[in-house]
């Protein structure tokens, strides 16, 4: 069972982290006695997503090259392309891809079944291969647990798994005398007030609506309304309930009534653009966008954004304290088809070290290591409301982007995404939900037959 | 070693080799074999290339389409024509077929008509005609993925420039590619913008090669410009038109990059053509067997369309 990340837990578990903080940024990677140069002259190829964490890593590649003598070819791609490229490369049996960013919750089961992940646990235990300052124990217990599958470690987490959060415009909430939303009903009320109060010049809320891409943000709402992807005991598909229908209808209605037009094509890039241009009062999305909104050169809402943990609904109490449903790690993985596993492991441990965690935290991400959370620089630099929101969000287990018993997550997300699109378009949500349910049931049945 | 070559330089090589050493006999046999099989040997390198690059992938795709090749489960069992049966009973497959054909029909018609208009404009001499030619050709030289990204931003209902322009002239804003009914016409618009210059180039070459006498006679007889165009230009351009139609049909059937970048087949599956559908199956869902079956069907459709146009070409004598 996952250990929740409480203040006490952070302090206790982060005792080792305190010592590390004192080492400064250059310290962890340059511990004496560890041979970083054993693969000098090697060239590694990495495919990753274009987002803030990758940019932090990219900025450190020159230092890594000096330390190890390893050259890194670093490809950062938009989300769809990154995901496709990693899959296509593996499908084609390419051996020139060494390291890639991977989201276990989305493609993990398939990648594991296909044998594309390298288990990093043995390398982590080998002192000849792992810098002692890497300190796997410094990772938050829930994060470590989320990254471990049958005692194997296919991914080194680069962030703490957390529920999406609600971004809200403090200035508009003050103007319209609104409280920070605590429930999904509060969210709808605030969206209505601001949209109508600004004469429809500011959208009340912006949410993802692009089919499959929206399911990851929609999942907490489904559970908060009392719905669920699967029956926990049997693993059977279970989202054809009135509660689930209410959740799908809520998502579509709030976007239709108070959201931007064309929401059905909005992925995270679109919703963050709309929000950072000051066109929307609220956004419920991943926690990693604090830097996007805080950058005055790109955002018109810098300094005006407030943060709130995921609002609650009638079903929240029943699921938010449950142990995790499955491993859920996002981070770098080493391709099992690559030929340079040891050199790749040097890169992965370097980019997952304490320096990376601290920098990520300072940029508004939720670091996977204790040491970053208790770092005085971090506490001083970050908005207390953001830190509190992050702390609460990491304590709640994410329910998964789609029914977790289904291996073909992409297919299941496409089916469910259709319901979200139908809801936003004002179509027959009940019929669409019935279709998606049948498709998922058939898919699960087919997969179970194949597994037998 | 004694060679017959020095004995009589006027004697033909084959005669000189006769009765010589084993190597000489082999040499003669080899030369004879080459002489007899020139018709096969000369195109052999090209045939090998075609075999490796086209025949092998096609045959391999055919084989895969009869297997339950699902990477999520590492299965590779023979399933016969089961994937084809699944496709033919899948509403999503048929919807994709309809979209593919409607996209192709609209795009081919649009790009040929616009290409013809552009060709007629720059076939005339006027001030700035060179600039006009360059401007018309620009979309064709741009990379489809890059231009599609630009179009995607232009289509954005909240931040895009197209709605701004619509509102400038007093028209209501549109959601463009977010509307399931507008998404295919919007994508067709991008495809036409991109490929109309190609049609223009070929038709312009045709216009330049037309004889002037029929037009002069028509003018003498008092034919209007439209009558000249419809009754003389179009019939004379028929061979060129058929060539354009062949290329544009094949291109439009195969279009992938524009759709993938702008909508990825969405909203929902509203712009999912056969190619995008096959890609989803093979590379998103990792169902390589079923994806291969869809590609085989798709290849058959493209081949059938090509054959039909080729026959039309023969009929007009292009």
**Token pair for residue A162?**
């957390």
Residue found under tokens 């809200």? A168
Q: Could you give the CA distance from residue A353 to residue A331 in angstroms, rounded to a whole number?
A: 12
Q: How far apart are the first and last CA of chain B?
A: 62
Q: How far apart are the first and last CA of chain A?
A: 28
Q: Could you give the CA distance from residue A131 to residue A122 in angstroms, rounded to a whole number?
A: 14
**Token pair for residue B275?**
């190619």
Residue found under tokens 């709030």? A254
Q: Give the A window 271-330 contacts with B, CB below 8 Å.
A: 273-274, 277, 279
CA B8 from centre of chain: 60
Contact A212, A146 (CB under 8 A): no
- Model pLDDT, residue B8: 47
Tell me how close the Cα of A412 comes to any Cα of chain B, in angstroms.
Answer: 9
ipTM value for the complex: 0.75
Beta bridge partners of A369: A139
pLDDT level of residue B293 (50, 70, 90 thresholds): very high
- Model pLDDT, residue B283: 85
**Token pair for residue A108?**
């993990």
- Model pLDDT, residue A366: 87
Strands A165-169 vs A282-285: parallel, antiparallel or unpaired = antiparallel
Q: Give the A window 80-99 contacts with B, CB below 8 Å.
A: 80, 84, 87-88, 91
The overall average pLDDT reported for chain B is 88
Is B18 contained in some domain? no
Q: Could you give the CA distance from residue B259 to residue B273 in angstroms, rounded to a whole number?
A: 8
Q: Could you give the CA distance from residue A36 to residue A342 in angstroms, rounded to a whole number?
A: 11
Does A264 touch chain B if contact means CB atoms closer than 8 Å? yes
Residue B283 and residue A270: Cβ atoms within 8 Å?
no
For each of the domains in chain A, give its residue range(s) and CATH number, in order of start. Answer: 7-117+119-153+329-395 (3.40.190.10), 165-321+401-451 (3.40.190.10)
Give the pLDDT confidence of B214-245 residue by residue, as tens digits: 989 998 988 898 999 999 999 999 989 999 99
Which of B158, B280, B283 lies nearest to residue A274, judging by beta carbons?
A: B158
Sequence-ordered strand ranges (E) for A318-441: 330-334
Structural domains counted in chain B: 1
Give the pLDDT confidence of B169-198 residue by residue, as tens digits: 999 989 999 999 999 999 999 999 999 999
pLDDT above 90 for B278: yes
Is B243 contained in some domain? yes
Is B58 contained in some domain? no
Q: Which residues of A138-150 are buried (b: 16+ CB within 10 A; e: fewer)?
A: bbbebbbbbbebe
- Ranges in chain A, pLDDT < 70: 1-32, 323-326, 451-452
Does B257 touch chain A if contact means CB atoms closer than 8 Å? no
**Token pair for residue A416?**
């469910």
- Model pLDDT, residue B299: 93
Does A411 touch chain B if contact means CB atoms closer than 8 Å? yes
Element (H, E) at A82: helix A79-91
Which of A109, A114, A211 lies nearest to residue B267, judging by beta carbons?
A: A211
CATH of the domain at B271: 1.10.3720.10
Q: Is the peptide bond before B85 cis (omega within 30 degrees of 0)?
A: no
Residue A262 and residue B288: Cβ atoms within 8 Å?
no
Residue A408 and residue B177: Cβ atoms within 8 Å?
no
In this prediction, residues B146-170 reach a mean pLDDT of 92
Residue (of B63, B97, B67, B64) closest to B82 by Cα position: B67
Is B123 contained in some domain? yes
Give the pLDDT confidence of B85-134 residue by residue, as tens digits: 999 999 999 999 999 999 999 999 999 999 999 999 999 888 888 888 88
Neighbours of A65 (CB within 10 A): 13
Contact B210, B233 (CB under 8 A): yes
Burial tier of B313 (Cβ tally within 10 Å: 0-12, 13-18, 19+): middle
Residue A262 and residue B178: Cβ atoms within 8 Å?
yes
Is B155 contained in some domain? yes
Is B254 contained in some domain? yes
- Model pLDDT, residue A24: 39
Higher pLDDT, residue A427 or B15: A427
- Model pLDDT, residue A275: 96
- Model pLDDT, residue A145: 84
Tell me how close the Cα of B71 comes to any Cα of chain A, in angstroms.
Answer: 6
Q: Could you give the CA distance from residue A327 to residue A109 in angstroms, rounded to a whole number?
A: 10
Domain carrying residue B136 = 82-316
């Amino acid at each position: 069972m996952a250990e929740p990340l409480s203040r006490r837990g952070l302090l206790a578990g982060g005792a080792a982290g305190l010592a590390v903080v004192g080492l400064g940024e250059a310290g962890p990677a340059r511990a004496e006695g560890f041979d970083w140069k054993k693969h000098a002259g090697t060239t590694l190829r990495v495919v990753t997503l274009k987002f803030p964490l990758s940019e932090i890593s990219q900025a450190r590649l020159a230092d890594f090259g000096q330390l190890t003598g390893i050259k890194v070819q670093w490809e950062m791609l938009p989300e769809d392309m990154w995901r496709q490229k990693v899959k296509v490369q593996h499908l084609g049996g390419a051996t020139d891809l060494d390291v890639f960013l991977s989201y276990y919750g989305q493609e993990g089961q398939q990648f594991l079944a296909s044998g594309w992940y390298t288990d990093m646990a043995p390398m982590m235990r080998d002192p000849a291969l792992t810098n002692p300052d890497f300190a796997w124990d410094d990772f938050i217990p829930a994060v470590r647990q989320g990254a471990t599958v049958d005692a194997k470690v296919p991914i080194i987490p680069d962030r703490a798994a957390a529920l999406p959060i609600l971004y809200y415009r403090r200035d508009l909430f003050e103007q319209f005398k609104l409280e920070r939303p605590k429930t999904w009903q509060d969210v709808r009320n605030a969206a209505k007030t601001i949209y109508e109060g600004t004469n429809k010049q500011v959208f009340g809320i912006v949410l993802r609506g692009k089919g499959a891409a929206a399911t990851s943000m929609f999942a907490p709402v489904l559970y908060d309304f009392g719905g669920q992807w699967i029956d926990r005991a049997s693993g059977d598909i279970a989202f054809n309930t009135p509660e689930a229908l209410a959740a799908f209808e809520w998502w579509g209605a709030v976007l239709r009534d108070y959201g931007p037009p064309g929401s059905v094509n909005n992925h995270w890039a679109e919703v963050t653009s709309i929000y950072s241009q000051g066109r929307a009062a609220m956004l419920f999305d991943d926690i990693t966008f604090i830097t996007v909104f805080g950058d005055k050169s790109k955002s018109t809402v810098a300094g005006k954004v407030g943060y709130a943990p995921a609002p609650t609904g009638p079903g929240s109490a029943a699921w938010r304290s449950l142990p995790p449903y499955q491993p859920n790690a996002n981070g770098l993985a080493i391709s099992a088809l690559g030929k340079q596993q040891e050199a790749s492991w040097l890169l992965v441990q370097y980019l997952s070290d304490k320096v990376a965690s601290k920098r990520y935290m300072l940029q508004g991400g939720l670091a996977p290591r204790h040491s970053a959370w208790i770092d005085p620089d971090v506490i001083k630099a970050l908005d207390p409301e953001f830190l509190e929101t992050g702390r609460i969000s990491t304590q709640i287990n994410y329910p998964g982007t789609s029914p977790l018993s289904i291996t073909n997550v992409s297919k299941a997300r496409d089916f469910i995404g259709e319901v979200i699109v139908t809801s936003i378009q004002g179509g027959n949500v009940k019929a669409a939900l019935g279709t998606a349910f049948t498709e998922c049931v058939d898919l699960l049945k087919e997969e179970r037959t194949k597994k037998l | 070693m004694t060679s017959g070559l020095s004995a009589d330089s006027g004697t033909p090589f084959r005669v000189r080799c006769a009765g010589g050493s084993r190597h000489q006999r082999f040499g003669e046999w080899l030369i004879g074999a080459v002489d007899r099989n020139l018709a096969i040997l000369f195109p052999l390198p090209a045939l090998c290339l075609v075999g490796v690059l086209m025949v092998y992938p096609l045959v391999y795709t055919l084989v895969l389409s009869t297997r339950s090749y699902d990477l999520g489960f590492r299965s590779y069992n023979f399933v016969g024509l089961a994937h084809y049966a699944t496709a033919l009973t899948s509403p999503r497959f048929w919807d994709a077929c309809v979209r593919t054909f409607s996209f192709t029909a609209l795009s081919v018609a649009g790009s040929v008509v616009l290409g013809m208009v552009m060709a007629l404009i720059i076939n005339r001499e006027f001030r700035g005609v060179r600039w006009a030619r360059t401007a018309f050709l620009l979309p064709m030289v741009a990379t489809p993925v890059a231009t599609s990204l630009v179009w995607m931003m232009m289509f954005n209902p909240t931040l895009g420039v197209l709605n701004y322009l619509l509102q400038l002239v007093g028209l209501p804003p549109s959601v463009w590619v977010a509307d399931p009914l507008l998404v295919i016409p919007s994508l067709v618009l991008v495809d036409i913008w991109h490929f109309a210059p190609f049609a223009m180039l070929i038709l312009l070459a045709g216009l330049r090669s037309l004889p002037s006498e029929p037009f002069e006679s028509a003018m003498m007889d008092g034919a209007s410009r439209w009558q000249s165009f419809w009754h003389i230009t179009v019939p004379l351009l028929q061979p060129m038109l058929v060539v354009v139609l062949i290329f544009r049909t094949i291109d439009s059937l195969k279009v992938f990059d524009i759709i993938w970048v702008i909508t990825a087949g969405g909203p929902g599956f509203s712009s999912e053509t056969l190619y995008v559908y096959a890609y989803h199956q093979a590379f998103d869902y990792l169902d390589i067997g079923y994806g291969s079956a869809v590609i085989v069907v798709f290849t058959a459709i493209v081949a059938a369309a090509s054959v039909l146009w080729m026959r039309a070409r023969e009929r007009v004598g292009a």
